[in-house]
Amino acid sequence: MLKSIFKQSGRQIILIALPALLLFASCNNSNKDKKTAAGPAEEKTKTDTARPPQTESTLLTIAMMNEDREGKVEFRFYEREAIYTFDKSNKSYTDNIGMLNEAIKSNTPVKFSLDAARRTLTTITKATDEEIRAYNTGEGINSARLKIQGAAPVKIDVTKIDTATFNQVDYQLKFPVFKLCTNVVPDYATLVNIFNYCASQGCNNPPPYTITNCIPFQYVRDGCYARAHKMRQMISKKYGYCVEKVFSFAEGYPNKLAVKANMWGGCCVEWWYHVVPLLRLNVKYKTGVIKQVCYVIDPGMFTTPVTLSTWLQAQKNTTCNPNATVTSYSIQPGSAYWPLGSSASFGTDPNYINTEQTLINYKNLTTCP
């Protein structure tokens, strides 16, 4: 379970070094509905040396913290899909190890200064009582009234998926969310229209847009939670169909989701979780039977809608990282924004405040430098 993995305390020394780069994804499975992102992949590995620092100070809740043998500490935060690193010889880390371990145990946020473009941390500070109270109450991110309890993740080996049955909603009924809504997409043409509508609002396209803030599909290193939530709002408002969310996870160090950003320059990207909108499509089989099939909308990775299995398998790109794997996935209500505090607890963003701010923060960033 995620909870047992994320809530690790103590200082862990890992004997497998972190890769020199954080890595992103193209679908590498052989299914007939495989629709990988368009554009030639670049053979030469790129670095982030040309990126200007973009430092922000924010409260984050630690899901997992590990040291490696190359002098780095890897941090995974519930409020970020990206994996961040920090120099473990930095006094800001060595002086706060006890505080950090206690924060993991108690699910208490810590104040970090970070560079989102480089996925690095620069300083660590204990949050004040006032900051923690604001974070945990009222309109705070970790407020009890803004959290939902969802279904627990299901472990998976994406190399053993039977695509003949896996993508059918009948197979996925272990997730009770499917019982909450019945208005599903009637045909594939409508599904494509939905995808194209969402993709057209990307910041990679010239304005004007029909939404207030464009969606930064061109920056897939982080922010999937905001992109997914904005698309959920757009689809619900314009089309009225059921919109669930599907989360993928890479549990435990050194496991990572790894994908290749063929649409954005061909570099590799790593996450510890990823989330997109999930839609159900009515499909009529040759036998005349109509079944609901799970499709996802992810214009940051693909140029068309793809099945759930295609999306999951794309995140195990071992050419980017030999430790690439999807250890579990879960299907949650559309209101689920990001995992927060345990394996089946999710924060929400009912007023789209965090969503819009994240879209603004990432609109000028690029995936591959």
Q: Which residues of 160-182 are buried (b: 16+ CB within 10 A; e: fewer)?
A: ebebeebbbbeebeebebbeeee
pLDDT value for 288: 92
Burial class (CB in 10 A: 0-12, 13-18, 19+), 91: exposed
pLDDT value for 69: 80
Instruction: For the domain made up of 147-362, give the CATH fold.
Output: C8orf32 fold (3.10.620)
Burial class (CB in 10 A: 0-12, 13-18, 19+), 89: exposed
CA dihedral sign of residues 264, 37, 249, 296:
positive
CA dihedral sign of residues 332, 337, 340, 345:
negative
105, pLDDT greater than 70: yes
The encoded tokens of residue 201 equal: 């609002």
Residue 144 is classified by DSSP as G
pLDDT value for 5: 39
Residue 365 is classified by DSSP as -
pLDDT value for 48: 37
The pLDDT tens digits of the residues spanning 7-39 come to 333 334 333 333 333 333 333 333 434 444 433
Burial class (CB in 10 A: 0-12, 13-18, 19+), 62: buried
pLDDT value for 51: 46
* CA 308 from centroid of its chain's CA atoms: 15
* Residue 189 host element (H or E): helix 188-200
Average pLDDT over residues 305-310: 98
Are the C-beta atoms of residues 334 and 16 closer than 8 Å to each other?
no
Are the C-beta atoms of residues 259 and 243 closer than 8 Å to each other?
no
Which of 27-41, 138-152, 324-338 has the highest average model confidence (pLDDT)? 324-338
Q: What is the CA angle 156-307-2, rounded to 5?
A: 30
Average pLDDT over residues 297-316: 98
Neighbour count for residue 43 (Cβ, 10 Å): 6
157, pLDDT greater than 50: yes
For domain 2-22+49-145, give the CATH number.
Answer: 2.40.50.340
**Domain parsing of the chain, residue ranges:** 2-22+49-145, 147-362
Are the C-beta atoms of residues 215 and 201 closer than 8 Å to each other?
yes
pTM of this structure: 0.86
Mean pLDDT of the chain: 87
